[in-house]
Amino acid sequence: MADDYFVHPSAYVDEGAEIGAGTKIWFFSHVQTDTKVGERCILGQNVNLDRNVVLGDGVKIQNNVSVYNGVVVEDGAFLGPSCVFTNVINPRGFIERKTEFKATRVGRGASIGANATIVCGNDLGDYCMIGAGAVVTKDVPAYGLMVGMPARRLGWICRCGVRLPSGPHPTCPACGDRYREDGEVLIALDPHDGV
């Protein structure tokens, strides 16, 4: 029902797109057909959602972001201004590769900083944080704090977005959530339902 969400008059929502209640789509944005947008999402200015993109509930996308076919963004994720997704590993202007799109998952509660680039075919783990300007070329573990070009893990980040102290059993100094490090994996000892 059109009254369940807001679309600015300068934005376009193609027929066949599904938009959840409470979602806001702002200036000059375009949601293409066969796209699913969850409830309470915010799409900033000049956002393009390609065909077959899936957004969970509570996703926030800042200005100037294009999310391409094959990208799934899970509940509560944040896509910073002008971050970039790719969809083909070896693009050529003179060769059509629309059957070669690689899937990318942005996990629950993950954050991608401004101007970061996410190379297609990679999985961004739940609650990870990608630093501004980073270039992600491989899978990112849940709670991983990634920076640089190519992105490397600098440490761990809490579900609440605060950097965790180093050590095998870090506790968040802000919210008190506890974790256990197991090699290149961080396990939450205080799991939460939802985002």
State pLDDT tens for residues 76-88. Answer: 999 999 999 999 9
pLDDT at 1: 44
Diameter over CA atoms, the chain: 54
Structure token digits, residue 89: 């590993």
* Buried-exposed string 70-80: b where 16+ CB fall within 10 A, e elsewhere: bbbbbbbbbbb
Q: pTM value?
A: 0.94
pLDDT at 108: 98
Confidence of residue 3 (pLDDT cuts 50, 70, 90): low
Residues 6+ apart with CB under 8 A from 185: 141, 142
pLDDT at 2: 52
Alpha carbon 166 to its chain centroid, in Å, reads 25
Report the alpha-carbon distance of residue 84 to residue 106 in Å, rounded.
13
Q: Which residues partner with 37 through β-bridges? A: 19, 55
Q: Give the rounded percent of residues in the chain with a pLDDT score beyond 90.
A: 90
Report the alpha-carbon distance of residue 21 to residue 41 in Å, rounded.
9
pLDDT at 50: 96
State pLDDT tens for residues 121-177. Answer: 999 999 999 999 999 999 999 999 999 999 999 999 999 999 999 999 999 999 999
pLDDT at 192: 78
- Do residues 48 and 62 make contact, with C-beta atoms less than 8 angstroms apart? no
